[in-house]
Amino acid sequence: MQLGEVPPSRMFDLSTKVYGGILPNCCYKLVRYYITELESKNETFSFLFLCGGKIKLKINSMNKIFNDDAISIMDKMIAKNYKVDLLITDPPYKITARGNGGNSGGMFQKKEVNNGKIFKTNDLEIEDWLPRFYNILKDNSHCYIMTNNKNITNYLKVIDTMYFNEDKKQKFHFIKNLIWVKDNKIMGQTYMSQFEYIIMLRKGEHKKINDCGTSDVLQFPNKKMKGEDGKTIHDTEKPIELMKVLIENSSNENDIVFEPFMGIGSTCIASLLSNRQYIGVELDENYYKISEERIKKAWEEKRKEKDLTQKTLFGDGM
């Protein structure tokens, strides 16, 4: 993303800091360190680096996570006509205790689940977020929606019948369902559940993915982070490696990836590891704080890796 394209402050009414400086080339490590420090602070910023009178580096960093309601953040983005390159989401969904009865254990034994709830807040319906997604996503881009057996029928019905303008020309186009195969199974009253759906949509023209050799069956272990008490931190945490496949196939470096229901931040981490920018939203304060910690750690690890592999910030020419 080019500096000056759209100042981040205009998007979210946040004060954007502009950093910059004139430094000798030998300071590249210092600059690298400085930028990564900024990146890990959860701050939108612009950075300009001059060397020998020329602009050598310009960064307009949009990486930002919000502890807020996704609907209200999306409305702010829409009001500022702010668009993203890729939308990947894992929305809060309803489940039934009956369909997953037996000895399923884990999240299905939680009290809220008996009311069709896994999270404190999952009262949103697809009708609340889908029109906003359409508005926020750039033309000719992809949108992925992760969901389960209980919700997919309704989701596909709404996706197929919901138009976003009066002449019924603007809608999401269904591309296909991908399957995420986990290595664990959940006991039910019929067959054991071992996969989840990822609905793939496009807005606008057809666009091929970056690696057409990717299978629509994606197999990644369903490993979840545990707290100090040994309990799972987030019941529906998604594997970072799975999210990376979707991100790297449907966006390019520096593109902006948006996850309005980020949980403990897996999509944001996958984005930063794939050299994309991210915007994430999570309503639950505890999950938000865990995301913040995880993202900070991921930036630190990335910095260490870069320090090892990068001789100079601008390549060998400097």
Segment holding 139, helix H or strand E: strand 137-147
Q: By the 8 A CB rule, do 162 and 130 touch?
A: yes
Please identify, using beta-carbon distances, which residue of 237 and 248 lies nearer to ligand SAM.
Answer: 237
Please identify, using beta-carbon distances, which residue of 28 and 196 lies nearer to ligand SAM.
Answer: 196
> Smallest distance from the beta carbon of 54 to ligand SAM, in angstroms?
42
Q: What is the largest CA-CA distance in the chain?
A: 70
Instruction: Give the residue among 316, 254, 260, 249 at the shortest CA–CA distance from 121.
Output: 260
> Smallest distance from the beta carbon of 94 to ligand SAM, in angstroms?
11
Query: Directed axis angle between helix 149-161 and helix 126-136, to 10°?
Result: 60
Please identify, using beta-carbon distances, which residue of 28 and 119 lies nearer to ligand SAM.
Answer: 119
For residue 140, give the 3-state DSSP assignment.
Answer: strand
> Smallest distance from the beta carbon of 57 to ligand SAM, in angstroms?
32
Please report how many Cα atoms fall inside a 13 Å half-sphere around the Cα of residue 246, on the Cβ side: 39
> Smallest distance from the beta carbon of 73 to ligand SAM, in angstroms?
8
According to DSSP, the β-strands at 64-67 and 84-89 are unpaired
Please identify, using beta-carbon distances, which residue of 151 and 214 lies nearer to ligand SAM.
Answer: 151
Chain position whose Cβ is nearest to ligand SAM: 263
Q: By the 8 A CB rule, do 31 and 88 touch?
A: no
Please identify, using beta-carbon distances, which residue of 264 and 272 lies nearer to ligand SAM.
Answer: 264
Please identify, using beta-carbon distances, which residue of 46 and 251 lies nearer to ligand SAM.
Answer: 251
Please identify, using beta-carbon distances, which residue of 51 and 268 lies nearer to ligand SAM.
Answer: 268
Q: By the 8 A CB rule, do 313 and 32 touch?
A: yes
> Smallest distance from the beta carbon of 259 to ligand SAM, in angstroms?
7
Q: Any idea how long the chain is?
A: 318
For residue 40, give the 3-state DSSP assignment.
Answer: coil
> Smallest distance from the beta carbon of 230 to ligand SAM, in angstroms?
19
Q: Which residues bind ligand SAM (CB under 6 A)?
A: 69-71, 90, 92, 119, 121-122, 124, 234, 236-238, 261-264, 266, 281-284, 287
Residue 71, both tokens: 């609907």
Q: Is 139 exposed, middle or buried (0-12, 13-18, 19+ CB in 10 A)?
A: exposed
> Smallest distance from the beta carbon of 143 to ligand SAM, in angstroms?
15
